[in-house]
Amino acid sequence: MLNYIIRRILYAIPILVGVNLITFTLFFVVNTPDDMARMQLGIKRVTPEAIEKWKHERGYDKPLMLNDSEEGSGKFTHTIFFEKSVAMFAFDFGRADDGRDIAHEIKSRMLPSLAIALPVFLLGLIVYITFALVMAFFRATYVDFWGVVLCVALMSISSLFYIIGGQFLISKLWHLVPISGYSSGLDAGKFLVLPVIIGIISGAGASTRWYRTIFLEEMSKDYVRTARAKGLPESIVLFRHVLRNAMIPILTGAVVVIPLLFLGSLIAESFFGIPGLGSYTIDAISSQDFAVVRAMVFLGSLLYIVGLILTDISYTLVDPRIRLE
Amino acid sequence: MLFKPVILWTDALIYLLVMVALVFVWYVRRNEHMLVPWRRVGHSASGMASLTVLVFFMSIGLLDTVHFRPAIENGSNSEKVYSVEVLSLLDIIATPLRTRVEKTYSAPFAAHLYARETIELPDGAQMREFPRLQFGGAHLQDPATQLTNDVAERATTGLALGLLSWCLVLTLLSVSLARRDSATLSFTLSAIRRGDTEVPWNAVLATLALMFMSIGVALMLSTHYHIFGTDKVGQDVFYQSLKSIRTGLVIGTLTTLMMLPFALLLGIMAGYFRGWVDDVIQYIYTTLSSIPGVLLIAAAVLMMQVYMETHPELFDTIAARADLRLLFLCIILGVTSWTGLCRLLRGETLKLREMEYIQAAHAFGVSHWRIISRHILPNVMHIVLIATVMDFSGLVLAEAVLSYVGVGVDPSMISFGTMINAARLEMAREPMVWWALLSAFGFMFALVLSANLFADAVQDAFNPRVRTWPLQARKLQRRGREQYSKDKTVEAEIKGSHSP
């Protein structure tokens, strides 16, 4: 087991290197730092000195891959590639345009992101599985039919609509909770209720329908027929046999997103004014803070790869048939 | 020449797509085995009803794709001068909607502006009131008393017109069906009503009735009112919603067109050649797919923005610029989303290459290229088709989110995302400006819902293992029950005949 995990982690390294190369190419080769400086300082009326100053402030005034003016290892270390891309492996993301340390920002913003994403994830899983079970129990009846219709309708609505509609209805019309904001500590609850509910609803259509399909597929298997044939009531078949087996694809499918919960949700956070990583990314995109976007791309892929490893491990934990070589 | 045709990049690609679709239809029609799953799509009521709506959206999108620059009257000079404004056929049809611009916000069916203004009376005194709109309800003498009646009158006319044209379609359809089956007209009509036809015409006709009536009402009313109100600069929201349809369709279809070559080539190569080719391709798509989609898109679009800002000489009109940005967005979305399909195709090809007929082809010495193109490609096409229709609705929804984040289409291009983004800022206004938001969401919902339903029908038809729609199951169950009771009676009859 340990052997497998170590091998799995080693396999992740070339992927992370690949991600790093992609971001490096995207941010420094497709457009040179000069282009970025010109874009940020305004296209017209920009002096070469201003560009040089902008680049110097951010450490972009070095050669890309090879520094000929240096000696020895400095040839490789005093370059943009080494200082900006390789450094990310040590979680040194550099500084944002407003001068703050990105790694520190990320650390302090993870918690608010998690405060929304984790309840949405856990409560959502419970709600979706419950509804999917109900639909599977009443399969091929009107409950099931209208359930699927509702799911398809929910899937077809833009997530922006849920947020805007929810804010309007609950906060503005009924004044139940504040429209947006965040506070640390216990009174954060009133700020979190609405985003969590909306998060659950906006994911409901696709997930419920997907889980229903998993349940139905499981119910068409032979062991279910055997269970029915020996006279078990439908509820026991469903809850004792089908549910347990169907949980394997559901849970292992959910594991991959657990690390990504730290990143939070881009849209919800910016609408509800929650100082998490999602709104951090949005702010960086709209103010064209390239360093922050680069850092978030790296962090996102890192977390995703962690999620993949966790998925593989969870498979072996819940399903003894799968062996690791 | 009264106009100068303009073919923007996305236009050219849409024409290409239409041509590919036509060739595909022609090819399928000649091959009976390929027609079978399509017949199943044709038998699905929800699939055909949603297809009807989709065809309507697509024709609006196509009308909006034929672009040109109209000539400007230039009296002194004999040389023609063309406007810098790029118009489409839809713009010409909707000229009244496009040109009748108010000052600022006005509610749907309003005759007055949404904000008070100071008006100077003839005697020099000033007063604050809601000024009349220049166009919306301008034909009314006294809107306070006449407006409701006028709207109701026009709506009824529109409804009647819609019903009339629907009856026309119904007559044409039933006459042609009756002639084809050489049945009487009344028999055909009742068959349609009962849903006893091969294609569920009753579902199609019900959808058409709803559509015709709403189109009729919209047509009659939009000539004299802003039926969905106007936005901040006074532009008609109904017109904007119509224009957004093309943007949504382009994002939904061209993205797939962009990613198909990657996914097909790499996926089949990885599965077919295996070995190091497989390793390299797997590494590429694992790496790409491990970057969270939105972040990769955001990073790529940011870089594209930098490129477009620093190379302004590439675009001659605003439309060309917005269009190129849309194309780039499609390419970026395509590059970030081909990995899923690629993985599916690789798996399927791995399975296919072990099949006997491929082994036989190998033994005969058929070349790799020929095996791939003649034997593998046709057998993975159903996966491609399902992925294409399934992706469509997600992409339309993604456009709105991306435009909100600021990495979507060009701000000058009308799309659902830009409409929502502009309207969102007015949420805090008191009283609220809600119509632009609601109509953008409404149109998007109609488009995405019909795309989702159609995708389900296609998936059901091409992939019998996954059953997404319970209607079919219920029908089967009912048929099973009937079969069962029939068997019972037969059994009883046999028993009865044997027993003395």
Mapping DSSP onto H, E and C, the string for B403-451 reads: HHHCCCCCCCCCCHHHHHHHHHCCCCCCCCCCHHHHHHHHHHHHHHHHH
Half-sphere exposure in the Cβ direction for B90 (13 Å, CA): 19
Residues B467 and B351 in one domain: yes
ipTM for the assembly: 0.86
Closest residue by Cα to residue B144 from B122, B112, B118: B112
Q: With contact defined as beta carbons under 8 Å apart, do A162 and A203 qualify?
A: no
Contact residues, chain B, for A266 at CB < 8 Å: 294, 401, 405
Within-domain flag for B88: yes
Among the residue ranges A39-43, A128-132, B15-19, B223-227, the one predicted with the least confidence is A39-43
Portion 292-321 of B in contact with A at CB < 8 A: 292, 294-296, 298-300, 302-303, 305-307, 309-310, 312
Pair B74, B199 in one domain: yes
Query: By the CB < 8 Å criterion, does B405 face chain A?
Result: yes
Q: What's the alpha-carbon Rg for chain A, to the nearest Å? A: 25
User: What letters, b where the CB count within 10 A reaches 16 and e where it falls short, cover B375-390?
Assistant: bbeebbebbbbbbbbb
Q: Which residues of A touch B424 (CB under 8 A)?
A: 160, 164
Q: Phi, psi (5° rounding) for residue B120?
A: -90, 125
Q: How would residue B481 be classed by pLDDT, with cut points 50, 70 and 90? A: low
B435 in Cβ contact with B107 (< 8 Å):
yes
Same domain flag for B196 and B105: yes
CA dist., res. B110 & res. B417, Å (int): 25
> Does residue B490 sit at the A interface (CB-CB below 8 Å)?
no
Looking at the domain assignment, is residue B150 inside a domain?
yes
B453 has a chain A CB within 8 A of its CB: yes
B156 and B279 housed in the same domain: no
Amino acid identity for residue A35 in this structure: D
CA distance linking residue A112 with residue A96, whole number of Å: 20
Helix or strand run (H / E) with residue B67: strand B67-72
| Residues B292, B171 share a domain | no
Nearest to B298 among A22, A285, A308 (CB): A285
> Do B212 and B276 lie in a common domain?
no
CA–CA separation, A218 vs A239, rounded Å? 12
Q: Are residues B199 and B266 in the same domain?
A: no
CA-to-CA separations, A98 to A58, A206, A213, B391, in angstroms, rounded: 11, 39, 49, 39
How far does the CA of residue B121 sit from the closest CA of chain A (Å)? 38
Task: Please give the pLDDT value at position B474.
Answer: 47
* CB of A127 closer than 8 Å to CB of A116: no
Per-residue pLDDT tens digits for A102-148? 888 888 888 888 888 999 999 999 999 999 999 988 888 899 999 99
Q: Are residues B215 and B263 in the same domain?
A: no
Cα–Cα distance for residue pair A191/A182, rounded to 1 Å: 6
Residue B473: its chain A contacts at CB < 8 A?
A: 139-140
pLDDT at A325: 53
How many separate domains does chain B show? 2
Residues in a beta bridge with B242? none
Whether residue B367 sits in one domain with residue B419: yes
Same domain (yes/no): B301, B434:
yes
Q: What's the whole-model pTM score?
A: 0.87
Is the pLDDT at B469 greater than 60? The verdict is no
Which are the contacts of B155, defined by CB distance < 8 A and separation ≥ 6?
Answer: B217, B220, B221
Class of residue B363 by CB neighbours under 10 A (exposed 0-12, middle 13-18, buried 19+): exposed
Q: Which residues contact A251 (CB under 8 A, 6 or more apart)?
A: A314, A318
Closest CA to B256 of B373, B378, B382, B387: B387
A29 vs B contacts (CB less than 8 Å): none
* Residue B106, helix vs strand vs coil: strand
- Which of residues B196, B222, B248 is at a domain's end? B222
Residue B301 Cα distances to A26, B296, B402, B406, angstroms? 10, 8, 10, 9
| B227 occurs within a structural domain | no
> What single-letter DSSP state applies at residue B132?
B
Whether B15 and B75 share a structural domain: yes
| Burial environment of residue B367 by CB neighbours within 10 A (0 to 12, 13 to 18, 19 or more) | exposed
- Domain annotation covers residue B497: no
Q: What is the pLDDT of residue B499?
A: 41
Among the residues of B224-355, which ranges form H helices? 237-273, 275-289, 293-310, 318-352
**DSSP secondary structure letter of residue A101:** B
Question: Looking at the domain assignment, is residue B21 inside a domain?
Answer: yes
Ramachandran angles phi, psi of B3, nearest 5°:
-150, 165
- Structure tokens, B400: 């709105």
Nearest chain A Cα distance for residue B366, angstroms: 37
The SS3 call for residue A141 is coil
The better pLDDT of the pair A150, A40 is held by A150
Q: Give the end-to-end CA distance of chain B in Å, rounded to a whole number.
A: 94
Closest chain B residue to the Cα of A294, Cα to Cα:
B299
Residues of B with CB below 8 A from A153's CB?
Answer: 449
Confidence at residue B1, expressed as pLDDT on a 0 to 100 scale: 63
Which of A39, A144, A158, A164 has the most B C-beta neighbours within 10 Å, making it the best mutation to test the interface with B?
Answer: A158
Highest mean pLDDT among B68-77, B248-257, B458-467: B248-257
Same domain assignment for residues B175 and B269: no
The enclosing domain of B432 has a CATH number of 1.10.3720
Domain that holds residue B145: 3-121+130-222
What number is the average pLDDT over the span B178-203? 85
| Type and span of the H or E element at B72 | strand B67-72
Asked whether residue B364 is domain-assigned, the answer is yes
Average pLDDT rounded to a whole number, residues A241-263: 87
CB A304 within 8 A of CB A262: no
Could you report the per-residue pLDDT of B32-52, keeping only the tens digit for each?
888 888 888 888 888 999 999
In a domain, residue B237? The reply is no
Please indicate, yes or no, if residue B487 is contained in any of the structural domains. Answer: no
Q: Is residue A104 exposed (0-12), middle (13-18) or buried (19+ Cβ within 10 Å)?
A: exposed
> What pLDDT digit, counting tens, does each position of B267-311 carry?
999 999 988 999 999 999 889 888 888 888 888 888 888 888 777
